[in-house]
């Protein structure tokens, strides 16, 4: 049978996300929650098709049997899920979007902001928001020589437990390693067991870190603590900040909503559709050659495609099984609709940069990116109020527990007070010159009529102008006015300045 087209009825029956998940290996003893999170992690990393055994261009296996598309890896991977997540996270923490800590005590807020810079917290939280898009993220706080270190844990391997008040009681980490990996980390593993797979486990509690002896996968051995690798800290709390994705809190479920799971089926459809379109274009550039000869020989008559010259008897004939280009156009139109559907489902950015003919104002950019801003706004609640603030409060608590306090920069802090602690988020997009001038005039009118303090007006203007630290701008204003006042007093006249603490001068 000669197949002239590049789609057939049996190839149209492609897999969906549920059937693809069933192909992923699951270790004995792994929970369904862990298997689901690891599967979603594959989509985020763009490796969800690596489990399929054949490349897309391979139509037959070595035995000559036809390979259905459901067993082939698509040659085109749009990875739209990761694209939307990256765009939302960049709008959340990227560039000048990092929030500043403010509180009742200026010294505490200043120390925490300095810690964020020193510890590289913006980059870490961007990674936490990306990895946490599968449902959850976990930040581990460790203290070494009075200095704090923040790490990111893979929640697929974690099992948390909370009390009735919503505070963590314990977090257990458990995943599969080989005997070779254990031996590399100092475990006494005999040579015959180097290829054996083991469950490696540790547990954080309110009083310490418990390590357990690794047990072989599939075994039913009881947990045995390893005292040589266990640590006691006596913090009185579990040093882990658990973050549920997309603002879900107060639930017994350790995961929030996945940012992209609802669109995975559509992305799979788009990947295979574009792969088939590429296959059709390649076929159109080198169509199948059909020979008709008097001998009537069956099977493959000749290889080489349209570029090879033929010599046929007078009654022979040769034809090319060609297809027109209408199918390729229809495929691309269908893909554009699928892409729009994915972006609508995930609140992605549907703006095309090549369609912008002139620079846009900050307000115009907000309107064009409104769905993405809605998505990032929900993430502000999850990773700001549900992640950064609990982390800052934990740092304040550790400063009073760790002997000698915690070191931030070159200063030792032993009494950080989290009272009134909150986050000040910058504008989504920086205002341009045409927006800053009316804003400045409006703020000046508000100050003159006693509706707004100069400090608040300074913070608002600095935030709109894209200044990373609006609080520091107010400090500079106060310092400059103090210097000007001091200079005026030395010169014998006290005018020429405006008080920073009132609006009547």
In DSSP notation, 199-242 reads EEEEEEESSEEEEB--EETT--PPP-B-GGG-EE---SS-SEEE
pLDDT of residue 321: 55
Sole residue written with tokens 């893909």: 335
- Residue 278 is predicted with a pLDDT of 82
**DSSP-derived 3-state class of residue 172:** strand
Count Cβ neighbours within 10 Å for each residue of 269-302 and write b for 16 or more, e otherwise: bbbbbbbbbbbbeebeeeeebeeeeeeeeeeeee
**What does the pLDDT read at residue 14?**
66
Q: Could you read off the pLDDT of 337-390 as tens digits, one per residue?
A: 888 889 888 887 766 555 555 556 556 666 777 888 888 889 999 999 999 999
Q: Could you tell me the pLDDT band of residue 237, with boundaries at 50, 70 and 90?
A: very high
pLDDT classification of 328: cutoffs 50, 70, 90: confident
Of the ranges 4-18, 368-382, 464-478, which one carries the lowest mean pLDDT score?
4-18
Structure tokens at 494: 């006290």
- At 357 the pLDDT is 53
Q: Find the mean pLDDT for residues 173-186.
A: 90
- Assign 276 a pLDDT band (cuts: 50, 70, 90): confident
For 449, phi and psi rounded to 5 degrees? Answer: -95, 10
In the predicted structure, residue 42 carries a pLDDT above the cut 70: yes
pLDDT at 1 over 50: no
User: Cα(481)–Cα(447) distance, rounded to whole angstroms?
Assistant: 17
Close Cβ partners of 275 (under 8 Å, ≥ 6 residues apart): 56, 74, 75, 76
Beta strand 422-424 with 197-205 is: unpaired
* Alpha-carbon span 243 to 129, nearest angstrom: 9
pLDDT band at residue 86 under the 50/70/90 scheme = very high
Least-confidence region, from 132-136, 161-165, 234-238, 477-481:
477-481
């Amino acid at each position: 049978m000669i197949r002239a087209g590049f789609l057939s009825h049996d190839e149209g029956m492609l897999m969906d996300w549920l059937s693809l998940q069933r192909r992923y290996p699951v270790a004995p003893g792994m929970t369904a929650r862990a298997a689901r999170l690891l599967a979603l992690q594959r989509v985020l990393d763009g490796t969800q098709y690596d489990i399929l055994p054949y490349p897309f261009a391979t139509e037959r296996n070595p035995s000559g049997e036809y390979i259905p598309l459901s067993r082939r890896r698509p040659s085109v991977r749009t990875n739209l899920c990761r694209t939307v997540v990256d765009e939302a996270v960049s709008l959340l923490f990227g560039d000048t979007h990092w929030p500043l800590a403010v509180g009742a005590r200026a010294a505490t807020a200043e120390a925490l902001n300095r810690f964020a810079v020193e510890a590289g917290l913006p980059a870490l939280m961007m990674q936490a928001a990306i990895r946490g898009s599968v449902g959850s993220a976990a930040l581990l706080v460790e203290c070494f020589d009075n200095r704090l270190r923040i790490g990111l844990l893979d929640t697929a391997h974690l099992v948390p437990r909370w009390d009735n008040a919503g505070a963590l009681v314990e977090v257990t980490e458990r995943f599969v390693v080989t005997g070779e990996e254990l031996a590399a980390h100092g475990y006494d593993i005999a040579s015959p067991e180097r290829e054996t797979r083991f469950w490696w486990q540790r547990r954080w509690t309110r009083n310490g870190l418990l390590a357990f002896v690794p047990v072989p996968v599939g075994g039913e051995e009881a947990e045995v603590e390893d005292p040589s690798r266990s640590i006691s800290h006596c913090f009185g709390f579990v040093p882990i900040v658990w973050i549920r994705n997309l603002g879900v809190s107060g639930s017994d479920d350790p995961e929030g909503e996945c940012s992209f799971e609802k669109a995975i089926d559509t992305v799979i459809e788009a990947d295979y559709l574009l792969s088939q379109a590429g296959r059709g274009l390649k076929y159109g550039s080198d169509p199948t050659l059909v020979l008709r000869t008097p001998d009537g020989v069956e099977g493959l008559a000749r290889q080489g495609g349209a570029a090879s010259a033929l010599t046929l008897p007078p009654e022979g004939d040769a034809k090319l099984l060609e297809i027109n280009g209408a199918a390729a156009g229809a495929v691309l139109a269908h893909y554009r609709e699928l892409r729009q559907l994915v972006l609508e489902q995930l609140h992605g950015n549907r703006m095309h940069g090549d369609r912008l003919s002139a620079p846009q104002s900050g307000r115009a950019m907000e309107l064009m990116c409104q769905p993405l801003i809605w998505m990032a706004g929900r993430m502000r609640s999850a990773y700001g109020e549900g992640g950064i603030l609990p982390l800052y409060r934990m740092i304040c608590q550790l400063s009073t527990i760790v002997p000698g306090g915690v070191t931030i920069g070159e200063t030792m802090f032993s009494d950080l007070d989290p009272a009134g602690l909150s986050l000040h988020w910058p504008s989504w997009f920086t205002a341009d010159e045409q927006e800053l001038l009316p804003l400045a005039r409006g703020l000046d009118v508000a100050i003159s009529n006693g509706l707004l303090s100069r400090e608040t007006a300074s913070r608002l203007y600095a935030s709109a102008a894209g200044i990373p630290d609006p609080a520091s701008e107010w400090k500079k204003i106060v310092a400059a006015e103090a210097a000007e006042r001091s200079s005026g007093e030395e010169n014998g006249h006290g005018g020429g300045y405006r008080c920073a603490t009132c609006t009547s001068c």
